[in-house]
């Protein structure tokens, strides 16, 4: 699960997390007892239909500001370490 | 249903192929799907970007209505049902070119479903089912960093709208796979929603390939193949993979459900040993976008703007213009070519003649000048009216085909009327028996050997003799008449 | 005209309400610069004790104040919040000003864009003097999960201010700002308001734009004002509410003039008390104060009746499944690629893991793990989908109750502010503090918290008013009527 969330945990962190999570998960189990047959899941609380915008270019070409927070760059491109398959 | 394989289907040692294709088509809207950045290809890295398509903290997507319109067009053109309500979903995974750590796509309730694509395989019409079409956003691009060894990421492409088109696993051979892709691309080009360029990546294909014993109904282990960047490579990759699977099964091996990459250099597929053994995308409904409502009025509005589609147009060309299935297919692959052809008919050309001119000379010119790189060809080197005029001159016997072919290059880029050139330069073909008889006699005299052969019944040599007469008359002799006269002269 | 340097005037400056301050600026009785300097001085004075701020924007604030003063001098309308110093929770983007969500992973992040609510505040003339501390990524009920600061309850520095908008609650209570914006996902504006003795409002989901608000749980988050009184909350809400073309979930409904009709009273209103909210084990003084407030409203002409929200017991599990699932996805973008903390690694995978491990605190990691689990293959139906179904049942409970009643009245929390460190080691106990606020977010309803009492130690107690969908007006009327009949909102912890 940690891998799926891209979190690296220290062993003691993992231990604590495991016990915290199992307590919380037990609480979740209580939901199973509830009969929800035929109940629509709430994906959206308010539903007034998707907002649609016109097909127009409203953003000017990006300046320096948008790449300024980059931890590592090469010119305007973001640099990342190699991906090991 | 146990049936022998249909004709044209791929088989090998009692196995048959089950192929399903997944196509991602980049849409030609001005702006991206969820933000107001330009969707244009290229540009300096990370300039067509904004906080939304860079996945910065706090940003939210807003849907471009033209993307939906394009998707409805694609759905209608492939006879899909358009869902009155469809939902966006998040597909969660980590990759540097995926700024939010999830891709906004559609999962359980796509926009279009249950359609089909019409294709011709070896001249035979077929339908391949289309499971679904849905909208999603494209990712950025990773480029290998030669200097530091990692990757460099450009997000200009992040957020460009994509249509994901999933075909049913009903394709039965590599050739059919190629035909399906060509037919699908053709439809998208007719609709002017995608330029269908596989090499540039605006039209991408992944193939799902499996084999099973002939006539079996259960599906074999499915392998996904990626990294095919042309129709030919798709056909080659599928063919290679089918064979690999059959050989593996024959050797008693168990096939693994996996993703393999096509290597065009080595011409083989290779397993991708990915760190994430199983991609758990943890799909859930996108909370930042409300369900997409497409009322019937909108569908009707879009339907009214659809052009005549390739399949119906091809059939009409066969029926109304008396063309062969093959010729009709070539002429209707591209809408602009089909329009050109019909403009020529409107200008007075005979359908079969016009078809001949277009499929040979005009398409050659188009390919040479790479005019077909454009989504719609606008600057034709020669107009349909000019071609029609040429073909009418030949039909009327005014000039012969050889003269016409020579005239064509002289018309390029001009408004000139071929008839005027013919008059001005005296290019009309000579059909006067008297004049030609003399030329025929001269040639017979000059070429006694060939004349003797023809007299002896070797009909093949007539071409040579006709050619000689054509040369002697500066190409203007009426070839049919020459042939007649030659035969007559040598019969006696 | 104000007399500069006069202690009486300047020490009163930070005391006045938003409306009063804006009125004085408009009438040129005081300048925005004076108000701003007074706020900055007050912040300087109280921060050692309270620690509400993660960043102070002195230069930007004074520049904005000067601009307001020029507008006023030119005869232009400075806006409903014209010249008034406010604070903004640090999970709301402010262009050019560091915005961290109280996390190490965004410790140096400076957004190039404003959140829509930030832009609306500026447009209304407000002067943003600083960014307020909160639980990391708004995950928490005490602000103890902040990685970048410690905020203490101004009433008692050994106690928490509540969370996750603890900095907002504390700053308003300490009179360091006239108003603040917080965010509320499971009670994060309302709990600090209750613990700090101020007014907190969570609008109907979709009433206020979420663009530029660092997302925790997309289907639950809302921005809300924290103020000293109800009328101020109405003013701020009016300024920030409304449709936003950048937020697909922001409602197109027009924004009413919330300030109008506040004093219409509660005569004839039907107010419901959900029996499930008066739980066993509640601190007795909390129940007493709430019931006293209810009796007062009855005396003012409201009809009180008991209602039932039978699915209340399932709300915590439902909330934590949905919120953590959405959060696990929303926080995936913090990967060190384009911004934020990057810890180098030999490979991309290593970089991701190290950056996120170093950048996220324990509670955030806990919730990401829970959320990832709830969505993972094989568990989606049992957890996430089930939770969304129970959510529908919770919504229906409220719909039924609010058919009969104009609003519901409940306590805000089972206790007053607890001690720092008391609940940090037991997440489940911490989660239970949300039991009275959480269902409101699940249902997407608006809720208002007003101070209604104090316990033996002087710690504030809050009353929660839950309104109908998009009916903030009625809710505000009720809060206002309560306020008129009491003085709790006038109490100030720091003179």
Q: Which residue among B87, B273, B293 sits closest to A85, beta carbon to beta carbon?
A: B273
The answer to whether B285 contacts A43, with C-beta atoms less than 8 Å apart, is yes
**Can you tell me whether residue C457 is helix, strand or coil?**
coil
Contact A53 B65 (CB under 8 A): yes
Q: What is the distance in angstroms between the Cα of A62 and the nearest Cα belonging to chain C?
A: 11
pLDDT in tens, B211-239: 999 989 999 999 999 999 999 999 999 99
CB C223 within 8 A of CB C213: yes
* Chain C interface mutation, best of A20, A73, A77, highest count of C Cβ atoms under 10 Å: A20
Q: How far apart are CA B96 and CA A79, in angstroms?
A: 9
pTM for this predicted structure: 0.92
Decide if C81 contacts C18 (C-beta within 8 A). yes
Model confidence band, residue B492 (pLDDT cutoffs 50, 70, 90): low
Chain B residue at shortest CA distance from C327? B287
CA distance, residue C474 to nearest chain A CA (Å): 20
Banded model confidence at residue B6, pLDDT cuts 50, 70, 90: low
Q: Which residue of C has its CA nearest to A36?
A: C389
What whole-number distance in Å separates Cα of residue B181 and Cα of residue B20?
A: 11
Residues of A in contact with C390 (CB under 8 A): 31, 34, 36, 39
Contact B31 A56 (CB under 8 A): yes
The minimum CA-CA distance between A43 and chain B, rounded to whole Å, is 7
Please name the chains neighbouring C, where neighbouring means 3+ C-beta pairs under 8 angstroms. A, B
Q: Does C377 touch chain B (CB under 8 A)?
A: yes
- Give the pLDDT confidence of B20-53 residue by residue, as tens digits: 999 999 999 999 999 999 999 988 999 999 999 9
Q: Do A51 and B50 touch (CB under 8 A)?
A: no
Interface contact A68-C314, CB threshold 8 A: no
Q: Is any Cβ of chain B less than 8 angstroms from the Cβ of C96?
A: no
Q: How far apart, in whole angstroms, are the C-alpha atoms of residue C294 and residue A28?
A: 34
Q: Considering CB atoms only, which of C218, C245, C375 is closest to B62?
A: C245
pLDDT at C368: 95
Assembly ipTM? 0.95
Chain C partners of A40 at a C-beta cutoff of 8 Å?
389, 392
Q: Which residues of C367-403 are buried (b: 16+ CB within 10 A; e: fewer)?
A: bbbbbbbbbbeebbeebbbbbbbbbbbbbbbbeebbe
Q: Which residue in B62, B151, B282 is closest to C375 by CB distance?
A: B282
**pLDDT attached to residue B421:** 87
Please count the residue pairs, one from chain A and one from chain C, whose beta carbons lie less than 8 angstroms apart.
165
What confidence score (pLDDT) does residue A3 get?
78
Contacts with A, C 69-98, CB within 8 Å:
none
pLDDT band per the 50, 70, 90 thresholds, residue B263: very high
Which residues from A are below 8 Å from B149, CB to CB? 81-82
Mutate to test the interface with B, among A66, A71, A73 (most CBs of B within 10 A): A66
Going B249 to B251 to B254 to B259, the CA torsion angle's sign is negative
> Which pLDDT belongs to residue B233?
96
**Alpha-carbon dihedral of residues C473, C478, C481, C486, nearest 10 degrees?**
-130
Residue C411 makes CB contacts below 8 A (sequence gap 6+) with C277, C278, C282, C286, C287, C290, C436, C461, C462, C463, C464
Whether residue C188 lies in the annotated active site: yes
- pLDDT tens series, chain C, 495 aa: 444 444 444 458 898 999 999 999 999 999 999 999 999 999 999 999 999 999 999 999 999 999 999 999 999 999 999 999 999 999 999 999 999 999 999 999 999 999 999 999 999 999 999 999 999 999 999 999 999 999 999 999 999 999 999 999 999 999 999 999 999 999 999 999 999 999 999 999 999 999 999 999 999 999 999 999 999 999 999 999 999 999 999 999 999 999 999 999 999 999 999 999 998 889 999 999 999 999 999 999 999 999 999 999 999 989 999 999 999 999 999 999 999 999 999 999 999 999 999 999 999 999 999 899 889 888 888 888 999 999 999 999 999 999 999 999 999 999 999 999 998 877 767 777 788 999 999 999 999 999 999 999 999 999 999 999 999 999 999 999 999 999 999 999 998
| Residue bearing tokens 């859930």 | B284
CA atoms of C13 and C21, how far apart (whole Å): 8
Q: Where in chain B do CATH 1.10.10.410 domains reside?
A: 433-491
List CB contacts of B59: < 8 A, sequence separation 6 or more: B51, B52, C211, C212
How far is it, in rounded angstroms, from Cα C458 to Cα C460? 6
Sign of the CA dihedral with C263 first, then C268, C273, and C274 last: negative
B60-74, B306-320, C4-18, C299-313: the lowest-pLDDT one: C4-18
Helix and strand numbers, DSSP H then E, in chain A: 1, 3
Quick check: C388 and A2 CB within 8 A? no
CATH of region C7-495, choose from 3.90.1300.10, 3.40.1170.60, 3.20.20.70, 3.40.50.620: 3.90.1300.10
Residues C215 and B51 sit within 8 Å (Cβ to Cβ): no
How many other C-beta atoms are found inside a 10 Å radius of the C-beta of residue C330?
Answer: 26
Q: Within chain C, how many helices (H) and strands (E) appear?
A: 16, 11
Cβ-Cβ contacts under 8 Å between B and C: the total is: 102
Q: How far is B240 from chain A (nearest CA, A)?
A: 24
Which residue out of B87, B153, B157, B272 would a mutagenesis test of the A interface target, given it has the greatest number of A Cβ atoms within 10 Å? Answer: B153
Task: Return the CATH class of domain B433-491.
Answer: mainly alpha
Span B365-387, average pLDDT: 91
**N-term to C-term CA, chain A:** 19
A-chain residues within 8 Å CB-CB of B145?
74, 79
Q: What is the pLDDT of residue C151?
A: 98
Alpha carbons C254 and C207: distance in angstroms, whole number = 9
Indicate whether B450 pLDDT > 90. no
Neighbours of A, requiring at least 3 CB pairs below 8 Å, are B, C
Given the residues C188, C209, C251, C355, select the one marked as catalytic.
Answer: C188
C306 sits in which H/E element: strand C303-307
Taking contacts as CB-CB distances below 8 angstroms, the residues of chain C near A4 are 372, 376
Residue B177: its pLDDT value, please? 97
What count of Cα atoms within 13 Å lies in the side-chain half-sphere of residue C114? 10
Residue among C89, C120, C131, C423 flagged as catalytic: C89
The runs of H, that is alpha helices, within C331-405 are 348-359, 362-375, 386-404
Distance of alpha carbon C355 from alpha carbon A6, whole angstroms: 9
Domain ranges (residues) in chain C: 7-495
| CA proximity to B133, closest of B100, B168, B102, B157 | B168
Is C89 part of the annotated catalytic residue set?
yes
B471 in contact with A at a CB cutoff of 8 Å?
Answer: no
Q: What residue in B sits closest to A83 (Cα-Cα)? A: B150
Q: Greatest CA span in chain B, whole angstroms? A: 97
Closest by CA position to B237, among listed B457, B484, B52, B17: B17
Q: Do B150 and A82 make contact, defined as CB atoms within 8 angstroms?
A: yes
Rounded to an integer, what distance in angstroms lies between the CA atom of residue B63 and that of residue B67? 8
pLDDT of residue B422: 85
Of the partner residues C246, C337, C384, the one whose CB lies closest to the CB of residue B284: C384
Check whether the bond before C164 is cis (ω within 30° of 0): yes
Q: Do B58 and C384 touch (CB under 8 A)?
A: no
- Residues of B with Cβ-Cβ distance to A58 under 8 angstroms: 31, 36
Interface test with C, best of B58, B107, B291 (most C CBs within 10 A): B58
Share of chain B above pLDDT 90, in %: 69
Give B138→chain C minimum CA distance, Å. 16
* Calpha distance C418→C426 (Å, rounded): 14
**DSSP letter at A74?**
E
| Cβ neighbours of A32 in C, within 8 Å | 382, 386
């Amino acid at each position: 699960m940690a891998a799926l969330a891209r979190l690296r945990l220290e062993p003691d962190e993992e231990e604590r997390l495991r016990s915290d999570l199992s307590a919380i998960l037990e609480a979740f189990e209580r939901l199973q007892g509830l009969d929800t047959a035929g109940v629509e899941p709430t994906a959206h609380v308010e539903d007034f239909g998707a907002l649609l915008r016109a097909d127009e270019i409203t953003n000017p070409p990006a300046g320096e500001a948008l790449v300024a927070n980059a931890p590592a760059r090469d010119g305007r491109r973001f640099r990342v370490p190699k991906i090991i398959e | 249903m146990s049936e022998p394989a249909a004709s044209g289907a791929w088989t090998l040692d009692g196995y048959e192929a089950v192929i399903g294709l997944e196509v991602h088509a980049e849409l030609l809207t001005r702006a991206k799907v969820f933000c107001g950045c330009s969707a244009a290809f290229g540009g300096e890295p990370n300039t067509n970007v904004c906080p939304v398509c860079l996945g910065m903290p706090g940003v939210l997507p807003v849907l471009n209505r033209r993307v939906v319109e394009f998707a409805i067009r694609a759905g209608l053109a492939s006879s899909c049902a358009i869902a009155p309500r469809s939902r966006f979903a998040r597909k969660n995974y980590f990759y540097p070119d995926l700024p939010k750590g999830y891709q906004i796509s559609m999962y359980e309730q796509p926009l279009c479903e249950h359609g089909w694509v019409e294709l011709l395989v070896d001249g035979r019409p077929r339908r391949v089912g289309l499971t679904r079409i849905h909208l999603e956003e494209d990712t950025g691009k990773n480029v290998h960093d030669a200097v530091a060894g990692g990757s460099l990421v450009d997000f200009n492409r992040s957020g460009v709208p994509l249509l994901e088109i999933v075909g049913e696993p009903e394709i039965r051979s590599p050739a059919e796979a190629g035909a399906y892709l060509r037919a699908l691309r053709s439809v998208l080009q007719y609709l002017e929603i995608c330029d269908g360029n596989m090499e540039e990546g605006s039209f991408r294909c992944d193939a799902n390939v499996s084999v099973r014993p002939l006539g079996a109904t259960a599906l074999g282990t499915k392998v996904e193949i990626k990294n095919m960047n042309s129709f030919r490579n798709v056909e080659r990759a599928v063919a290679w993979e089918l064979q690999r699977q059959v050989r593996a099964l024959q050797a008693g091996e168990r096939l693994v459900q996996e993703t393999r990459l096509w290597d065009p250099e080595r011409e083989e597929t290779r397993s991708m040993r990915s760190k994430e053994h199983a991609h758990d995308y943890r799909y859930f409904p996108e909370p930042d976008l409300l369900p997409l409502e497409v009322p019937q009025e909108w569908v009707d509005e879009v339907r009214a703007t659809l052009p005549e589609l390739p399949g119906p147009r091809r059939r009409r060309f066969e029926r109304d213009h008396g063309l062969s299935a093959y010729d009709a297919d070539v002429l209707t692959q591209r809408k602009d070519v089909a329009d050109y052809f019909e403009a020529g008919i409107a200008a007075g050309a005979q359908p079969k003649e016009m078809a001949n001119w277009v499929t040979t000379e005009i398409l050659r010119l188009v390919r040479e000048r790479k005019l077909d790189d454009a989504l719609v060809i606008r600057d034709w080197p020669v107009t349909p009216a000019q071609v029609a005029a040429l073909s009418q001159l030949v039909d009327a016997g005014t000039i012969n085909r050889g003269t016409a072919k020579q005239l064509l290059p002289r018309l390029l880029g001009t408004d000139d009327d071929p008839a005027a050139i013919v008059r001005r330069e005296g290019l009309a073909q000579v059909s006067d028996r008297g004049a030609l008889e003399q030329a025929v006699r001269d040639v017979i005299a000059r070429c006694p050997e060939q004349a003797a052969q023809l007299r002896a019944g070797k009909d093949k040599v007539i071409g040579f003799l006709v050619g000689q007469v054509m040369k002697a008359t500066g190409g203007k002799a009426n070839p049919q008449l020459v042939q007649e006269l030659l035969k007559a002269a040598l019969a006696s | 005209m104000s007399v500069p340097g006069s202690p009486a005037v300047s020490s009163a400056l930070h005391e006045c309400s938003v409306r009063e301050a804006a009125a004085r600026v408009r009438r040129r009785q005081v300048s925005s610069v004076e108000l701003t300097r007074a706020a900055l001085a007050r912040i300087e004075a109280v921060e050692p004790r309270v620690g509400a701020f993660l960043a102070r924007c002195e230069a930007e604030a004074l520049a904005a104040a000067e601009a307001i003063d020029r507008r006023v001098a030119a005869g232009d309308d400075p806006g409903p919040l014209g010249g008034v110093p406010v604070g903004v929770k640090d999970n709301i983007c402010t262009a050019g000003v560091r915005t961290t969500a109280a996390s190490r992973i965004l410790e140096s992040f400076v957004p190039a864009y404003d959140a829509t609510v930030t832009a609306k505040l500026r447009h209304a003339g407000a002067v943003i003097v600083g960014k307020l501390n909160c639980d990391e990524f708004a995950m928490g009920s005490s602000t103890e999960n902040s990685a970048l600061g410690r905020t203490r309850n101004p009433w008692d520095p050994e106690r928490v201010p509540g969370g996750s908008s603890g900095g907002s609650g504390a700053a308003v209570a300490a009179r360091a700002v006239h108003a603040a914006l917080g965010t509320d996902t499971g009670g994060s504006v309302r709990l600090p308001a209750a613990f700090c003795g101020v007014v907190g409002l969570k609008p109907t989901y979709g009433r206020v734009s979420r663009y530029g608000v660092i997302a925790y749980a997309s289907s639950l988050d809302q921005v809300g004002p924290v103020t000293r009184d109800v009328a101020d909350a109405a003013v701020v809400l009016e300024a920030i509410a409304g449709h936003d073309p950048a937020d697909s979930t922001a409602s197109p409904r027009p924004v009413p003039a919330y300030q109008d009709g506040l004093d219409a009273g509660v005569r004839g209103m039907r107010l419901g008390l959900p029996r499930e909210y008066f739980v066993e084990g509640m601190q007795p003084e909390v129940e007493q104060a709430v019931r006293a407030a209810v009796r007062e409203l009855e005396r003012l002409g409201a009809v009180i009746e008991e209602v039932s929200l039978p699915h209340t017991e399932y709300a915590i599990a439902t909330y934590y499944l949905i919120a953590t699932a959405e959060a696990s996805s929303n926080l995936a973008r913090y990967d060190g690629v384009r911004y934020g903390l990057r810890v180098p690694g030999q490979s991309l995978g290593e970089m991701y893991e190290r950056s996120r491990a170093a950048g996220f605190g324990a509670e955030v990691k806990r919730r990401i793990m829970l959320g990832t689990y709830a969505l993972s293959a094989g568990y989606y139906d049992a957890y996430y989908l089930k939770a969304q179904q129970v959510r529908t049942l919770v919504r229906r409970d409220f719909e039924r109750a609010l058919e009969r009643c104009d609003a519901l009245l409940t306590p805000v929390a089972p206790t007053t502010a607890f001690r720092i460190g008391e609940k940090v080691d037991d997440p489940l106990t911490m989660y239970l503090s949300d039991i009275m606020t959480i269902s409101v977010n699940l249902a997407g309803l608006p809720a208002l918290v007003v101070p209604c009492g104090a316990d033996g130690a002087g710690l504030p107690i809050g009353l929660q008013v839950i309104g109908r969908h998009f009916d903030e007006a009625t809710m505000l009327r009720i809060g206002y009527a309560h306020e008129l009949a009491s003085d709790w909102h006038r109490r100030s912890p720091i003179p």
